[in-house]
């Protein structure tokens, strides 16, 4: 106990030091900030002092040499979202920011990544690891706040960065009349220059790159007149290009859409003898005459700079054409900047408060996997995990915060109450302690769940008098007293009145474990990738399968242990009262789906768990049978890839089934429903969903020595939980496979058009291979992003199966692959899945593989898809583990996965998740 206390005090003390450091964002005398990502310590290089990035990212696990040189890069191993460097800036001051991204030249392993870079939420560039030269992304902006984020957004593969530089731009006019824009550097050229010019010659440390061999160097006597006020270094202006009639500069490779550009041209007359009228030229940009009879000397000075704002698409052509004078045009330097309107950011007050919430939580929850993903803008472009936001009238605000079941400890961060747009707040199933902070009356909270914590004291009066509060769950906090029951009872609140309806935290933990199990199963597959890499040649050698079923499975080099045994839990189905269901669904307020059986509503149990409540409609007779069927199967069957039944209610003729709510909807939605329009499902995710669903079906097909056949496998019955783990749902039609002596006649044909096994349909002979056929259709949906049946399409494309088959047979898979994932998959992995799909949709069931063959094939595909990035990271550790038994290597690796963030040790009796769930 004492030890724990000392430890706690120590960590928070250390955190304070860390925080303090964070405030001391050290800058040079010029106000420059130079961050060398993954540097071991501070150092000085070329007159500039550099600091490591450990104040932003404390861990070093992403530190890599992506290049033979010794430049380090930080690689962010993330699967979604973004990682940002939040830099201190002075509000309304102008800055130049520059991120550098090294050439990727890793030997022996593929590193394939492509990601967007943004300043705040405004994208300013795309970095691709295939680029043969180091990339620099530079932007000029006016700080809207006292911080500015520089972000790498997850796209494909792991984002990376080697350095970041921030320079204040005092007294420059770049953002004159453009303060609500970001200027992205396209080209900054020192014409006729010989070497690169930057700090200290350029006081803002702009980098001027030399160009053009036709150079014209001034006599050393040439100077810039004092009244020119230019900030361009003399070194840059001392050289120029000139021609007797015309100068032309073509900038290709600009973005394809229409964009505004700022073009700045710098002129210094280098020939002392030139007088007014001797060097006169016209200036054209993309054939548009911007200036006629331009004469540097006309103003009585030998220096001029001009700024043009133009709209262009794809390319820019700058032409200077002599106009009747003795000498031809001259030009010393130019800059081309793309003008990008600033994208909307989340409401400033909300950002400040949620950042404080994060900091407060981090005090006692260092290394929490959820908080680690919280970086940059909380809502845009995608909300942080656990947050939901809404945008109205040009302002984006945080409306929901769900921190439930995250093992968070310490006091409730008071800043939570200051998120004034927050409507629902769920802190249930954590270890929050201390008193509940007061809520300001400006709070818009409608639903608060703080149940199942260690909170103390009384419910604050300020909370009970919140004008919009309609749901309040606070049970299962042994030290928390309502104190004001009269207020509670008289109000219109839906509340658990502090009752602890859930006897222990047990069942909830079970769910958490389930989710984690899914995450770790994927992790195991990923780790398995390393092993397979060593055998890659062998794998390549046995590419084609030989037609009848999948022979591949038989000579697999290793097999991945099934997690079934480890995670199967004793099954306890709860019986709920109708009243309880009505409270959980707030009188069936939110309808989320409708089917033959009845309607499905969303609800929240008093312990905070979100549930889907399936209510049999009074008119459905078929429903009764399905209800019982589903209840029977699900009471007995449980697997991480099958939607579990939490409980049921059978009261007053009502038949109700309660499942955990699957926050990511169905695979169908994600592939071509509404959700697909918001965010494309990438190929690795599709693959792991396919594998999850296949494992669920394999479990069913081998259940209890007697196969269970689902009979309605389709993408809308594959649901996705919050970590995108696939769960097969809807067992209303499921049957035990017929055994000898069973009468087949009693089985009416069931299924959904487009997924139906033609053999089963014509013979009415039911077997597990019918599910295999339907699963093959699901695989084709995953590959192509198309519906199984769509009569809106041309006649020959109505049926996905009939359309896809000929292309596959002619090896033209590009024709069928979803255009949204083009370029985002490993061809070998795609082929595996295509071949598996083709085998599944064989017209004769005898030729179709079994689910366990398919599972192995999909595991292989996922391994191949993952191996490029995983191979490199872990090859060393595999060698050091040694051992000839590959199976045991995988098991060993499982044990060395990072422990959960809490102090409690996993115990064999009540196993804790081996690894936190993958952050989305």
Catalytic residue annotation: 712
Q: Which of 8, 15, 18, 30 binds ligand NAG (CB under 6 A)?
A: 30
- Shortest gap between Cβ of 60 and ligand NAG (angstroms)? 25
Task: Based on the shown chain and the rule CB under 6 A, indicate whether residue 168 belongs to the binding site for ligand NAG.
Answer: yes
The DSSP secondary structure of 76-127, one letter per residue, reads ---SSSEEEEEEE--TT-EEEEEEEEPPP--SSS----EEEEEETTEEEEEE
What is the Cα–Cα distance from 820 to 679, expressed in whole angstroms? 10
Rounded to 10 deg, the angle between the 768-784 and 851-881 helix axes is 60
Q: Which is nearer to ligand NAG, 120 or 168 (CB)?
A: 168
Q: Which is nearer to ligand NAG, 219 or 392 (CB)?
A: 219
Cβ atoms < 10 Å from Cβ of 35: 25
Query: In the window 229-258, what residues touch ligand NAG (CB under 6 A)?
Result: 229, 249, 251, 258
- Shortest gap between Cβ of 381 and ligand NAG (angstroms)? 19
Q: Which of 15, 18, 147, 215 binds ligand NAG (CB under 6 A)?
A: 147
Q: Which is nearer to ligand NAG, 311 or 763 (CB)?
A: 311
Give first-to-last CA distance, the chain, whole Å: 35
Task: Based on the shown chain and the rule CB under 6 A, indicate whether residue 150 belongs to the binding site for ligand NAG.
Answer: no
Q: Which of 109, 307, 321, 352 binds ligand NAG (CB under 6 A)?
A: 352
Q: Which is nearer to ligand NAG, 211 or 450 (CB)?
A: 211
Q: Which of 26, 44, 146, 577 binds ligand NAG (CB under 6 A)?
A: 146
- Shortest gap between Cβ of 183 and ligand NAG (angstroms)? 12
Q: Which is nearer to ligand NAG, 203 or 750 (CB)?
A: 203
Q: In what order do the strands lie in the sheet with 454-458?
A: 409-411, 431-435, 454-458, 479-481
> Tokens in use for 574?
């709860």
Task: Based on the shown chain and the rule CB under 6 A, indicate whether residue 211 belongs to the binding site for ligand NAG.
Answer: yes
Buried b vs exposed e over 860-872: b needs ≥16 C-beta within 10 Å?
Answer: bbbbbbbbbbbbb
Task: Based on the shown chain and the rule CB under 6 A, indicate whether residue 31 belongs to the binding site for ligand NAG.
Answer: yes
> Residue 704 pairs with which residues in a beta bridge?
none
Interface stretch with ligand NAG, choices 98-106, 268-276, 499-507, 902-910 (CB under 6 A): 268-276
Q: Which is nearer to ligand NAG, 229 or 489 (CB)?
A: 229
Query: H helices within 398-548, ranges in order?
Result: 461-464, 485-490, 506-534, 536-541
- Shortest gap between Cβ of 187 and ligand NAG (angstroms)? 4
- Shortest gap between Cβ of 146 and ligand NAG (angstroms)? 4
Q: Which is nearer to ligand NAG, 273 or 555 (CB)?
A: 273
- Shortest gap between Cβ of 272 and ligand NAG (angstroms)? 5
Residue count, binding to ligand NAG (CB under 6 A): 30
- Shortest gap between Cβ of 225 and ligand NAG (angstroms)? 8
Interface stretch with ligand NAG, choices 223-231, 436-444, 575-583, 808-816 (CB under 6 A): 223-231
Task: Based on the shown chain and the rule CB under 6 A, indicate whether residue 652 belongs to the binding site for ligand NAG.
Answer: no
Interface stretch with ligand NAG, choices 194-202, 226-234, 376-384, 824-832 (CB under 6 A): 226-234
Task: Based on the shown chain and the rule CB under 6 A, indicate whether residue 260 belongs to the binding site for ligand NAG.
Answer: yes
Q: Which of 75, 87, 127, 228 binds ligand NAG (CB under 6 A)?
A: 228
Radius of gyration of the chain from Cα atoms? Answer: 32
Query: In the window 519-548, what residues touch ligand NAG (CB under 6 A)?
Result: none
Q: Which is nearer to ligand NAG, 227 or 885 (CB)?
A: 227
Q: Which is nearer to ligand NAG, 272 or 742 (CB)?
A: 272
What is the Cα–Cα distance from 75 to 62, expressed in whole angstroms? 5
614 marked as part of a ligand binding site: yes
462 closest CA partner among 493, 488, 441, 435: 441
841 closest CA partner among 786, 798, 803: 803
Task: Based on the shown chain and the rule CB under 6 A, indicate whether residue 88 belongs to the binding site for ligand NAG.
Answer: yes
What is the Cα–Cα distance from 136 to 185, expressed in whole angstroms? 9
What is the Cα–Cα distance from 81 to 369, expressed in whole angstroms? 13
Interface stretch with ligand NAG, choices 152-160, 266-274, 525-533, 800-808 (CB under 6 A): 266-274
> Tokens in use for 818?
């979803």
Task: Based on the shown chain and the rule CB under 6 A, indicate whether residue 180 belongs to the binding site for ligand NAG.
Answer: no
Whether 735 contacts 708, CB under 8 Å: yes
What is the Cα–Cα distance from 316 to 262, expressed in whole angstroms? 11
Rounded to 10 deg, the angle between the 851-881 and 683-701 helix axes is 120
- Shortest gap between Cβ of 50 and ligand NAG (angstroms)? 18
Pairing, β 33-36 against β 43-45: unpaired
Query: In the window 270-329, what residues touch ligand NAG (CB under 6 A)?
Result: 270-274, 278, 311
Whether 783 contacts 835, CB under 8 Å: no
**Alpha-carbon separation of residue 140 from 45, 152, 308, 342 (angstroms):** 24, 17, 17, 11
**Cβ-based neighbours of 436, under 8 Å, separated by 6 or more:** 412, 450, 455, 457, 459, 460, 463, 480
Angle at 34 between CA 30 and CA 37, to 5 degrees: 175
Which residues of this chain interact with ligand NAG, rule CB under 6 A? 30-31, 88, 146-147, 168, 170, 187, 189, 203-204, 211, 219, 227-229, 249, 251, 258-260, 270-274, 278, 311, 341, 352
Show binding-site residues. 614
Show binding-site residues for ATP. 614
């Amino acid at each position: 106990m004492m030890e724990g206390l000392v430890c706690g005090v120590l960590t928070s003390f250390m955190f304070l030091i860390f925080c303090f450091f964070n405030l001391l964002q050290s800058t040079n005398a010029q106000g420059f900030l130079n961050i060398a990502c993954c540097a071991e310590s501070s150092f000085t290089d070329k007159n500039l002092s550099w600091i490591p990035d450990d104040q932003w990212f404390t861990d070093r696990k992403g530190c890599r040499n992506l290049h033979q040189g010794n430049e380090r890069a930080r690689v962010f191993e993330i699967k979604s979202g973004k990682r940002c460097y939040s830099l201190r800036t002075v509000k309304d001051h102008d800055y130049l920011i520059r991120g550098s991204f090294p050439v990727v030249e890793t030997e022996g392993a593929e590193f394939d990544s492509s990601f967007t870079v943004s300043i705040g939420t405004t994208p300013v560039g795309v970095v691709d690891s295939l680029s043969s030269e180091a990339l620099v992304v530079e932007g000029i902006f006016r700080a809207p706040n006292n911080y500015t984020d520089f972000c790498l957004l997850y796209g494909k593969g792991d984002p990376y960065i080697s350095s970041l530089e921030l320079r204040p731009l005092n007294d420059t006019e770049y953002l004159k009349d453009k303060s609500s824009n970001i200027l992205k550097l396209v080209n900054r050229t020192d014409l006729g220059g010989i070497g690169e010019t930057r700090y200290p010659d350029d006081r803002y440390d702009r980098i001027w790159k030399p160009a053009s061999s036709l150079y014209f160097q001034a006599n050393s006597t040439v100077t810039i007149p004092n009244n020119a006020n230019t900030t361009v270094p003399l070194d840059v202006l001392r050289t120029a290009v000139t021609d007797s009639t015309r100068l032309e500069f073509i900038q290709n490779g600009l973005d394809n859409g229409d964009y505004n550009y700022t073009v700045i041209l710098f002129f210094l007359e280098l020939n002392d003898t030139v007088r007014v009228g001797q060097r006169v030229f016209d200036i054209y940009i993309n054939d548009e005459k911007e200036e006629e009879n331009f004469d540097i000397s006309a103003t009585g000075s030998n220096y001029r700079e001009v700024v043009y704002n133009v709209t262009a698409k794809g390319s820019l052509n700058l032409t200077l054409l002599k106009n009747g004078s003795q000498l031809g045009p001259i030009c010393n330097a130019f800059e081309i900047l793309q003008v990008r309107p600033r994208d909307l950011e989340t409401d400033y007050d909300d950002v400040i408060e949620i950042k404080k919430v994060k900091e407060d939580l981090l005090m006692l929850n260092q290394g929490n996997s959820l908080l680690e993903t919280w970086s940059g803008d909380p809502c845009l472009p995608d909300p942080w995990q656990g947050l939901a936001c809404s945008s109205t009238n040009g302002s984006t605000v945080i409306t929901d915060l769900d921190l439930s079941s995250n093992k968070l400890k310490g006091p409730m961060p008071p800043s939570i109450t200051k998120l004034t747009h927050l409507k629902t707040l769920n802190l249930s199933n954590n270890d929050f302690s201390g008193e509940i902070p007061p809520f300001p009356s400006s709070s818009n909270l409608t639903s608060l769940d703080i149940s199942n914590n260690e909170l103390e004291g009384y419910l604050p009066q300020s909370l009970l008098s919140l004008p919009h509060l309609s749901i309040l769950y606070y049970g299962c906090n042994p030290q928390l007293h309502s104190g004001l029951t009269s207020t509670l009872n008289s109000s219109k609140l839906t509340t658990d009145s502090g009752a602890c309806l859930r006897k222990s935290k047990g069942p909830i933990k079970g769910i958490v474990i389930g989710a984690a199990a899914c995450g770790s199963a994927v992790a195991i597959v990923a780790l398995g990738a390393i092993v397979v890499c060593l055998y890659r040649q062998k794998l390549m050698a046995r590419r084609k399968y030989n037609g009848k079923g999948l022979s591949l499975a038989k000579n697999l080099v290793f097999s991945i242990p099934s997690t079934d045994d480890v995670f199967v839990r004793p099954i306890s189905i709860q019986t709920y009262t109708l009243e309880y269901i009505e409270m959980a669904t707030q009188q069936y307020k939110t309808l989320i789906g409708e089917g033959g059986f009845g309607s499905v509503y969303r609800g929240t149990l008093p312990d905070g768990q979100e549930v889907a409540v399936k209510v049999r409609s009074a008119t459905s007779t078929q429903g009764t049978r399905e209800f019982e069927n589903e209840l029977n199967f699900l009471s007995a069957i449980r697997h991480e890839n099958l939607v579990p039944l939490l409980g049921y209610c059978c009261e007053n003729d009502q038949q109700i089934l309660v499942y955990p709510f699957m926050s990511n909807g169905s695979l169908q939605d994600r592939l071509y429903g509404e959700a697909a329009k918001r965010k494309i499902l990438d190929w690795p995710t599709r693959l792991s969903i396919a594998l999850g669903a296949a494992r669920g079906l394999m479990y069913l097909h081998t259940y209890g020595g007697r196969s269970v056949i689902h009979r309605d496998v389709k993408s809308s019955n594959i649901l996705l939980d919050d970590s995108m783990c696939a769960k097969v749902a809807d067992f209303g039609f499921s049957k035990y496979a017929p055994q000898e002596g069973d009468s087949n006649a009693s089985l009416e044909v069931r299924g959904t058009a487009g997924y139906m096994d033609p053999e089963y349909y014509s013979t009415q002979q039911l077997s597990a291979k019918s599910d295999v056929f339907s699963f093959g259709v699901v695989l084709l949906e995953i590959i192509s992003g198309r519906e199984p049946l769509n009569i809106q399409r041309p006649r020959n494309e109505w049926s996905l199966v009939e359309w896809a088959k000929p292309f596959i047979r002619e090896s033209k898979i590009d024709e069928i692959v979803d255009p949204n994932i083009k370029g985002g998959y490993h061809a070998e992995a795609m082929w595996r899945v295509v071949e598996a799909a083709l085998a599944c949709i064989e017209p004769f069931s005898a030729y179709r593989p079994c689910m366990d063959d398919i599972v192995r094939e999909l595991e292989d595909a996922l391994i191949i898809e993952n191996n490029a990035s995983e191979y490199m990271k872990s090859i060393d550790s595999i060698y050091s583990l040694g051992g000839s038994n590959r199976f045991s290597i995988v098991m060993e690796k499982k044990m060395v996965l990072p422990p959960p963030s809490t102090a409690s040790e996993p115990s064999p009796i009540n196993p804790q998740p081996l690894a936190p769930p993958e952050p989305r």
